Amino acid sequence: MRGGLPNSLIADTDADSFDWRRRYLSSMLKQDLCCWGIDASDRFPEVFQWIANNTGEEFHEANCAKGLSIKRDSVRRSLDLLERMGLLRCLPNWPAGSNKSNSSMQAYHVRDCGLLHAMLGIDTLNKLRESDALGHSWESFCIEAIINAASDNVTPAFYRDKEKNEIDLVLKFSNGATYAIEIKVNETARAKKVLPLDAMQ
């Protein structure tokens, strides 16, 4: 709920934690970013909010640009900076050479779930449980935790093909081993058969 930032974790109450995260985001997103090649016309905070509202979903650059009335170059600059700041994780569609895969598509996740909840105005666990964002929040949290635990010898991706078959996380290790991982928050969820890897080639 609070994410992994120390000041958020050690706050006395959930309300104090939420307030700290909101102030942290405000100070970070409103700072002068000209030295990073970002100006007011790029609408940097709004791009980050767009990603938060759609975390874990396929990202369509054109839709974001149109929705925010900015140029696609502005979207790209903001996304690049958000990644460099460690706020976003971009997952490419795997494998890039697949005939079935929409290989140009990407999915973005807000890396810290506490910041995600603050951006969505979710300040209590009960609100999170009642929110439509619960599944995406859990998915982003699990993906970040799994990738961090997997070491630097792994290439992460997600999978979605033209038939809408999808896998939340695909991990390809340097030794050639590949794992497909589905993430569910529903208490009644059960293991299911996923696409064999040869269907993902």
142-177: pLDDT as tens digits? 999 999 999 778 999 999 888 778 899 999 999 989
**Is 1 domain-assigned?**
no
Q: 121 vs 36, which has greater pLDDT?
A: 121
Domain tally for the chain? Answer: 1
**Is 123 domain-assigned?**
yes
Q: Among 97, 118, 126, 101, which residue's Cα sits nearest to residue 55?
A: 118
Q: Is the peptide bond before 95 cis (omega within 30 degrees of 0)?
A: yes
Q: pTM higher than 0.75, yes or no?
A: yes
Question: Containing domain of residue 109, as a range?
Answer: 6-200
In tens, the pLDDT along 45-77 reads: 999 999 999 999 999 999 999 999 999 999 999
User: Would you tell me the crossing angle of helices 72-84 and 61-68 to the nearest 10 degrees?
Assistant: 110
**Is 44 domain-assigned?**
yes
Q: Average pLDDT of the chain?
A: 89
Longest Cα–Cα distance in the chain: 52
